Every structure is written in C-alpha cells, then in structure tokens.
Amino acid sequence: MIIETASGRLRGTGTAFLGIPYASAARFEPPRPAPPWQDTREAAAPGPAAPQPASRLERVMGPQQLEQAEDCLSLNVWRPTVAGAAPLPVLVFLHGGGFSSGSGGFDWYSGATLAQRGDMVVVTVNYRLGALGYLHLPPVSAGNLGLLDQVAALRWVRENIAAFGGDPGAVTVAGQSAGALSILALLSAPASSGLFNRAILQSTPAGMPPQDPDRASELGRAYLKVLGLAPARAERLRELPVADLLKAQVELAHLTARPGDVAPPFQLVADGELVAADLVRAAGTGGADRAEILMGATRDEAAAFYDVGEMSERVTESVFVAPMLQLAGVLAERGNPAWLYSFDWHPAGSPYGACHCIELPFVFGDPAPWRQAPMLGGEMPAALVAEVQRAWIGFLHRGDPGWERWTASAHRFTA
C-alpha cells in the first residue's frame, strides 16, 4: 500500500509503515522538518536506534539489537487490516530507557497487535538519547533536544496521520518511564498545545526532578573532563566519534551514581520554557489543559534495578508511587480527570517481582518479542493481556479504562 505524506510517498508492508523520517537534526541542534523525497520511499523496516550503550534494564527485559546512527529521527505507524470510513483514534508511544537507551523500532513495541485489536492507529517514536539528546552545555548544546524531537514527532502526527486513517483530533500520547516523564513535562509545556488530548503515563519517575541548569552545566563540564577536553575546547564535542561520546557517558554515569538515585547524568533540564522546575506542580497548566490522564505504577518498580528488599521498596515509593498520588491531586485541582492503576502480577517465585517494565508486554500484546525476558519467566497469561488491552483501548476510544476515576478521598490507587 502507498501512502502520501507531506514529505513524499511511502510504501508499507501490509498495515505497517516503518522507519518514516519525521525530522532531521545536526549534532546538538534542534530538530527540523524532514526533507522531502521524490521517489516512493520503502517503509518496510524500522530506522536505526539513537546511539546508546547497553541498557541496565537488560537484566529484566533481555537484550534487543538494532542498528544505531545519529540520523535516527524516525517513527513507525501501524493501522488495522480493515478500517471503517470514520478516522481512528491514535496512540503515540514514547519508549523508556532512562533517557539513555531504547528505540521505538524495537520488536517489543510493535503496534500491530494493539492496532488490530483496538481499532486504532499506533505510532512509536525514536528520539535522541544520552549526551546527544540531553547534554546542557551552552553554547554547544541547550539540552532537552530529545524532548524537542518528541514534540516534532507529535507535530508530524498532527499533520500526516489522517493519511493513515488516523484522527489528528483524537491523539493519546503514551509513555513508559522516561517516556512518561517526558509526557509529564509536556503537560505543562506550551509547545504541546493541540498535539494530544489524552495521556497514558506508565511508571513515571516523577520523584526524579529535572536538573536545574547550573547542575546540568556542572555535569556537562564533568563530561568534558572525562573526554579530556578543557572547557575552552567544548566545541570539539561536535566532531568526536560517537563511540567516544558513549564511552565517556558510561564513565560519567559510574562516577556520579549514588545508592537509591535512579537519575542518569543526562536527562530533562528545567529551562523555564519547555521544562518546568517542578513537573508535578506545573502539570495541566500548559498546552495540555484539561487532558484526560491514565497513569499507574508496578508494585515493585525498583526491583528492576535493585534486589527486592528495603532499598527497592523505598525507591519505588519515593520515586514512583508517592509523586504519582501527588500528581493525581494536582490534576484533580486543575480539572484534569485521572484514572490510576497498579500492576501487581508477576511469575511465582520471580526475583524481580512486579518490576519496572513488566506491564509493557501486556499493553502491546504480542508474546513473541518477550519470550526471553527474565521478568516474565516464560509466562504471559492471555487473560491478563486481554484485561490490560481492554483498559487501554477503552481509555483511547472513550476516555474510560473501565474503573472509577481517582478522587482526593482515595488513599491508594486501584484498577
């Protein structure tokens, strides 16, 4: 099938259109619209992942392999096999990975099953990661480039998704972990105005505040030191091989790591324009005013990073659960309806419990890419897949996942 977009024609494979450029960007520069192409572009394979080191989440999710390249700003679109005359609701998914790993092109996030079962259009997005996406070191890089990439992708969806049968006026943006924290930032960013009307926040590390610019610049200078560069030679960052940048990024992460601190050295920076200093208190004040929100956490979030025990429980509560409940209260004050859930299932005897990322296979619904995931232990109950997808689909179509919305009188979250 051939689809006509603003940049040119695309030839997909069945109902999938993969590796579509939505923007381009020079190193440390903001994204620009993707240049148009003349001939029909083949859209049969996902584009390269953003440059990244190995993920620390491999211990629970297993490994994923995909070509990497700086020219990585692409997205993937799935639509149902048969679509009616009416435009379909759209789900745009932003992957997690601590702002340092992941790709919307990984098999884990294939939208084929969800699009078919949910009668929707599913979009997954690549965005820049690590130092290449979040280094704050003026004048070389202003930071938050990965978040600007996400905004550019959402604008592409608004302008092009109708050609795939999607409704640009019915866009739900969903994200997990760093992807969810990005959405939380967009809930108060004027740049997100008109780009989505519902949001799904999965395992949002809202207890990990954005860096203030001074701290971010300090880390940028520490990064230069690891690379053996004096501050006066910071412009050399534009020329160094990607492998050198990634090696130094990993070393800096080790140097700055602290027990119980899940924040990476490169992440969101409170610039006062795109990212607020207090994302929880600012939610609902920007372009996503009155957006409906579905959000939740897994029971043992931090068991993906630490052994189950006191440290894991403390991090789960302080980084994920308590800030989420505070966010629900803030949203309620501002008229943003919110529905909360807790994902508690895990294989019997699993050392990871209901850890960070364990709900993802049930959202996307295809067991094949997850067969080697240690957190699942070879299990993925079909009944639970159906239950989770029913909730996500109901929220996308009707703003109703199937349970009562959160109220200030509720002491815990349920589903």
Residue 352 in 3-state DSSP? coil
Give residue-wise pLDDT tens across range 11-63.
Answer: 999 899 999 999 999 999 999 999 999 999 999 999 999 999 999 899 999 98
DSSP letter assigned to residue 283: T
Residues 156 and 249 in one domain: no
Asked if residue 79 and residue 178 are part of one domain, the reply reads yes
- What integer pLDDT is reported at residue 414 of this predicted model? 53
Q: Is the same domain home to 250 and 293?
A: no
Q: Is the pLDDT of residue 198 over 90?
A: yes
Per-residue pLDDT tens over the stretch 317-341: 999 999 999 999 999 888 888 999 9
Q: d(Cα 60, Cα 377) in Å, to the nearest integer?
A: 10
Q: What is the CATH number of the domain that holds 138?
A: 3.40.50.1820
What pLDDT does 384 receive?
98
Q: Decide: 305 and 298 in contact? Cβ < 8 Å.
A: no
C-alpha distance from residue 4 to each of 20, 23, 44, 150, 251 (Å): 12, 17, 15, 22, 45
- pLDDT confidence of residue 86: 85
Predicted pLDDT at 393: 98
**What is the overall mean pLDDT for the chain?**
94
User: Does a structural domain hold residue 410?
Assistant: no
* Residue 85, domain extent: 2-209+270-398
**Helix or strand or coil: residue 202?**
strand
- Residue 143 is assigned to a structural domain of this protein: yes
Backbone angles phi, psi at 189, to 5 degrees: -95, 120
Q: Is residue 244 part of a domain?
A: yes
Q: What is the pLDDT of residue 413?
A: 55
pLDDT in tens, 123-180: 999 999 999 999 999 999 999 999 999 999 999 999 999 999 999 999 999 999 999 9
Domain-located, residue 220: yes
Spell 294-315 as b/e; 16+ CB within 10 A means b: bbbbbbbbbbbbbeeeeebbeb
Are 234 and 375 found together in one domain?
A: no
The pTM is what? 0.96
Instruction: Examine the domain organization and report whether 240 and 310 are in the same domain.
Output: no
Q: Are residues 44 and 58 in the same domain?
A: yes
In a domain, 182, yes or no: yes
Residue 414 lies in a domain: no
Provide the number of structural domains found in the chain. 2
Q: Is pLDDT of 121 > 80?
A: yes
- Whether residue 156 sits in one domain with residue 48: yes
Enzyme catalytic residues: 177, 301, 356
Looking at the fold, whether 242 and 329 belong to one and the same domain comes out as no
Please check whether residues 135 and 235 belong to one and the same domain.
no
Residues 246, 166 share a domain: no
**pLDDT tens readout for residues 74-117:** 999 999 998 777 899 999 999 999 999 999 999 999 999 999 99
Instruction: Kindly state whether residues 226 and 374 are assigned to the same domain.
Output: no
SS3 (DSSP) at 115:
helix
For residue range 285-306, list pLDDT tens digits in order.
Answer: 876 667 899 999 999 999 999 8
Cα separation, 253 vs 293, whole angstroms: 32
Same domain membership, residue 9 and residue 84: yes
